[in-house]
Each structure stands twice: as structure tokens, then as C-alpha cells.
């Protein structure tokens, strides 16, 4: 099925509807927003096998993976609904008047920014796309959402959009609470980001795409925030004590992570670093054996397959880069070949190409001469979503400076685990220093993701009757609030 790129007139109409809806939707109660998100989750389930089969055809992802992803998306929607009602994201702060000091009554909460434009990810047609975390968290915050369908799964996106639109209509909310447009060219994206009614942007994808959106947003007469996740090579540091006792186990563990989903995860471990010697040699040998046994997998679409082939070839043809292993089976059309390469730390320091993400089943092993080089390599890295330490307790104690270097570059610091797999939980941080994301203070997973779409507003000297419900003395929402520096759910007497 072919979809035409939205015209400027269509974008104007959708954004005007979103703005008008915002003036109404931002006044709705958390309970009503939560009901909308739970209705969307039920709608995704009711869409049945047709939705799954359409996504399979468009993305080449297996049925089990897509069913699990739809279930995750439904869980995200309901968990954001729960968080919306709980109200912690409102961050209510109340300091009552102090007459003896002539201090006024001041009360603060978070309020919705306005219409949010969401750009979905190619590799997650459900969880990071049309009804994904960006959409769910923005709806929780009181912001209408306009989604630009990803052209790699445009029909799937259209089906999900119909589910959301139906839930909005059944809830009796304005049509503009959710909008959906198509566009394969950059013109559509630019028009959405620069539209006068757009107040924030969510994006998951490549560095080039995210940086372009960020720049357009910054160049507006009124700049707006862009929360873009733009990829990561997710370094894994093999510390000597752990490597000595667990080289084979680590090789098996990392081979599975590198090739999971044909390597098409933003948390794929694309860089592995260790100290040269017999232990690292054994690890590399075992990793190579596992990779050779792994069959090539069909990638999401021809564009990603071509990009992987090109980036892989470029990386392997750099000076002082050696190919360790490739999958023994011959790839078919649009398949990604599992590959492991290696290079010295010196080559890594002197060649920026080796720092770039190769999106697919590929990883580069950096062989350092000593701990000094290993730490230097860590400090040469740009911002990452994750960094993993394969280490014993003694390793952590003896090499605290490396631990600190790894901590400085990532949003999630992992001990003896792989980065693939992101738990949907309040304590999860899915974001990191630039260029992994455009704002490392926020994450795209878990209830704190709602905070991307709000800003603080203080009410001073208002009567109780005129205040928003979250700030009223009686606390009608029953939420936690900080009153005169004390966290409580009590009313103000």
C-alpha cells in the first residue's frame, strides 16, 4: 500500500487541530487521560492477527518478536496510565503563606507544553513508534500528539493510528488529540518541527536524522525541545580478573547480544575492549566461533540492509582493522552478515571511523596494551546509551578510575550483563550524553519520560477555589505533594 507525503496544507490542518485540542485536553483530569491510554492498549489487542501480519510483511521481523513487542507496547501504555494517575510527575510543591515574614503562598506543578510531534523508529514498529513510549508519555502529560509514520512500516502505523483515533473518539475527546501523517522526504519532517503550533519533538533513529530535527527546532523564532535518541555503540569493558575466569562465558553472552534481532537494536554492543594477552585471545577465538555459527538474518528493510553493508565494508577496510569472523552461511538478499573485527587501541585513538555505529550484527574488539590504554579508550568515547563492565568486585576496586570513566559517558552502567533489553520501569534510564541523545537529563522509557513534555508553573497568592485540582488544599487527586518541605498526601487544613 502506497501513502502520499502530507502536503503543507495537510500539515497545517493537523497542527491547527492539535493546537485547538490542546486547549481542551490539557484541562482533563489524569484519570481521564489514563482511561484513554488503557483504551488504546485494549484496541491494540483487539486489532488481532491482522496487525501482526502486516508488521511482519513490512519489517521482516518474526511473529513471536512482534507479538511480544505489541504486549510490551500495551504494558507501556498501561504503566504510563498508572503513572499519570499517581501524579508524581506533577512534582507538586506548596509553600503556604508566612504572615510574620510577609511571605506569599506559592504553589508549583508541571503543566503540559503543547502539541508533540513524534517520529517513530524503524526497528520497533510498535514500542517506539505510533503508539509507543513517546506517544503514551505525551498523552499522559496532557499533550496532543502528531505522529509522522515511519515509511518502513507505513501500513502498520496507519492501522495503529486508526486504533488511537478510535479510542480518542470513544473517549469524547477532540479529534486533534491525535494526528497522523505520512512523509518519506525530509520536507515533511521539517514542516512538522518548524510549525508554529509544535511545542516539542520526540525522535528515535539515526544521528543524522535526530541532529537535523534538533537544528531545525533550535533555529525557530521560538526554539523548542527535541528529545532525540540517535544511536550508540554501547562499549563493553572486559576487566582482567573477570576475563581470566570467564572468557568463554563472556564470548557466548556477547555473541548472543551482538546478533540478537540481527543486531538491529540501539543498545547493540558495537565495541568490546580488553587487555591483550592469552585471556583476550581465548575470548576472541570463542566469540569468532559463535559468530561463524550464527546465520545471517533478514534486516528490517532494504535501506537498512544497504546501510549496514556499506558501513560494515567501510569499517573492515580501515587501516589496522582485522576481520576476526563472519557467519559461515552465505547471506541472501537484504540479510545482515554477523561479523566481528578487531583493532589495536592505537588504531582506535587515531581513526574516528572506528567510533561510528555500524547498525547491525557487528562488533569491534579493541585490544589495549594495559589498563592505561583501556582507560584512555574509555575517555576517547562520546556519549552512549549504555556502558557495560564485565568485572569482579576486585576489578571494580582496583580499577575505580576506569569505572568512573565509563560512568561519565553513559546513561546506564551495567555490571556483568549485556545492554540489549530495556526494562520498562521507573528506575530505567534510556538516554545518555550527546550524541546518544540530545538531552541526557531525560529518558525515553519509564514514568519519568513524562517529564519531557511538561514545564514548571508557579501560582502565587491564588484562592483555593481558583487553583488547579493538584494544588487545592483538600488534595482531591490524592497525590503525593511536598508541603512546606514535607512529602505528604495530607490535605492542608
Question: Would you say the C-alpha torsion 416, 420, 422, 427 has a positive or negative sign?
Answer: positive
Q: How far is CA 366 from CA 94, 237, 419, in A?
A: 53, 10, 18
pLDDT of residue 100: 67
Sheet with 235-238, edge to edge strand ranges: 321-326, 339-344, 362-368, 271-275, 235-238, 384-390, 410-415
pLDDT of residue 361: 97
Cα(293)–Cα(186) distance, integer angstroms: 40
pLDDT of residue 1: 74
Does the annotation count 143 as an active-site position?
no
DSSP codes of every residue in 131-180? TSHHHHHHHHHT--EEEE--GGGHHHHHHHHHHHHHHHHHTT--GGGEEE
Give average pLDDT by consecutive 10-residue segment, the chain, 493 residues.
Answer: 91 98 97 98 97 96 95 97 97 90 92 97 93 97 97 96 98 98 93 98 93 97 96 96 97 97 93 98 97 95 93 96 96 95 96 95 98 95 97 98 97 96 90 95 92 98 97 98 97 94
Task: Report the DSSP beta bridge partners of residue 119.
Answer: 148, 203
Phi and psi at 419, nearest 5°, equal: -80, -20
pLDDT of residue 322: 96
Does the annotation count 410 as an active-site position?
no
Neighbours of 32 (CB within 10 A): 15
Neighbours of 383 (CB within 10 A): 18
Which residue out of 17, 229, 357, 373 is catalytically annotated?
A: 229
> Is the Cβ–Cβ distance between 471 and 90 less than 8 Å?
no
Which residue out of 84, 266, 368, 410 is catalytically annotated?
A: 266
Give the H/E segment covering residue 343: strand 339-344
pLDDT of residue 402: 97
Cα(28)–Cα(123) distance, integer angstroms: 33
DSSP β-ladder status, 116-119 and 106-112: unpaired
Give the H/E segment covering residue 174: none
pTM confidence score: 0.94
Cα(56)–Cα(53) distance, integer angstroms: 5
Amino acid at each position: 500500500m502506497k501513502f502520499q507525503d502530507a502536503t503543507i496544507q495537510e500539515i497545517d490542518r493537523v497542527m491547527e487541530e492539535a493546537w485547538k485540542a490542546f486547549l481542551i485536553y490539557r484541562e482533563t483530569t489524569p484519570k481521564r487521560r489514563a482511561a484513554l491510554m488503557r483504551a488504546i492498549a485494549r484496541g491494540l489487542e483487539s486489532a488481532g492477527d491482522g496487525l501482526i501480519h502486516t508488521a511482519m510483511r513490512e519489517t521482516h521481523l518474526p511473529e513471536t518478536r512482534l507479538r511480544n513487542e505489541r504486549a510490551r507496547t500495551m504494558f507501556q501504555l498501561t504503566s504510563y496510565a498508572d503513572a499519570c494517575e499517581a501524579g508524581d510527575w506533577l512534582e507538586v510543591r506548596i509553600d503556604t503563606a508566612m504572615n510574620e515574614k510577609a511571605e506569599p503562598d506559592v504553589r508549583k506543578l508541571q503543566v503540559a507544553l503543547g502539541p508533540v510531534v513524534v517520529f517513530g523508529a524503524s526497528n520497533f514498529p510498535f514500542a517506539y513508534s505510533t503508539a509507543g513510549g513517546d506517544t503514551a508519555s505525551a498523552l499522559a502529560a496532557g499533550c496532543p500528539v502528531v505522529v509522522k509514520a515511519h515509511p518502513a512500516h507505513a501500513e502498520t502505523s496507519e492501522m495503529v493510528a486508526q486504533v488511537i483515533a478510535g479510542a480518542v473518539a470513544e473517549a469524547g475527546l477532540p479529534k486533534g488529540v491525535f494526528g497522523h501523517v505520512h512523509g518519506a522526504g525530509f520536507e515533511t519532517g521539517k514542516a512538522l518541527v518548524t510549525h508554529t503550533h509544535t511545542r516539542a519533538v520526540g525522535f528515535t533513529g539515526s544521528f543524522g536524522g535526530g541532529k537535523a530535527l534538533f537544528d531545525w527546532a533550535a533555529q525557530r523564532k521560538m526554539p523548542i525541545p527535541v528529545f532525540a535518541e540517535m544511536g550508540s555503540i554501547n562499549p563493553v569493558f572486559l576487566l582482567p580478573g573477570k576475563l581470566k575466569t570467564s572468557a568463554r562465558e563472556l564470548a557466548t553472552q556477547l555473541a548472543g547480544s551482538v546478533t540478537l534481532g540481527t543486531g538491529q537494536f540501539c543498545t547493540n554492543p558495537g565495541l568490546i575492549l580488553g587487555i591483550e594477552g592469552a585471556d583476550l585471545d581465548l575470548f576472541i577465538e570463542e566469540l569468532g566461533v559463535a559468530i561463524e555459527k550464527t546465520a545471517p538474518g533478514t534486516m528490517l528493510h532494504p535501506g537498512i540492509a544497504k546501510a549496514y553493508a556499506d558501513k560494515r565494508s567501510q569499517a573492515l577496510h580501515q587501516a589496522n582493522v582485522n576481520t576476526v569472523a563472519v557467519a559461515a552461511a552465505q547471506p541472501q538478499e537484504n540479510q545482515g552478515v554477523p561479523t566481528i573485527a578487531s583493532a589495536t587501541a592505537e588504531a582506535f585513538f587515531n581513526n574516528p571511523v572506528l567510533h561510528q555505529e555500524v547498525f547491525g550484527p557487528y562488533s569491534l574488539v579493541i585490544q589495549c596494551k594495559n589498563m592505561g590504554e583501556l582507560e584512555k579508550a574509555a575517555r576517547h568515547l562520546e556519549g552512549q546509551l549504555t556502558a557495560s563492565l564485565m568485572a569482579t568486585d576486585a576489578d571494580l576496586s582496583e580499577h575505580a578510575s576506569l569505572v568512573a570513566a565509563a560512568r561519565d559517558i553513559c546513561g546506564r552502567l551495567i555490571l556483568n550483563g549485556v545492554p540489549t533489553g530495556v526494562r520498562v520501569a521507573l528506575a530505567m534510564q534510556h538516554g545518555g550524553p550527546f550524541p546518544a541523545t540530545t538531552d541526557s537529563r531525560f529518558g525515553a522509557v519509564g514514568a519519568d519520560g513524562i517529564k519531557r513534555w511538561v514545564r514548571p508553573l508557579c501560582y502565587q497568592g491564588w484562592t483555593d477555589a481558583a487553583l488547579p485540582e493538584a494544588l487545592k488544599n483538600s488534595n482531591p487527586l490524592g497525590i503525593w505533594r511536598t508541603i512546606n518541605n514535607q512529602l505528604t498526601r495530607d490535605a492542608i487544613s
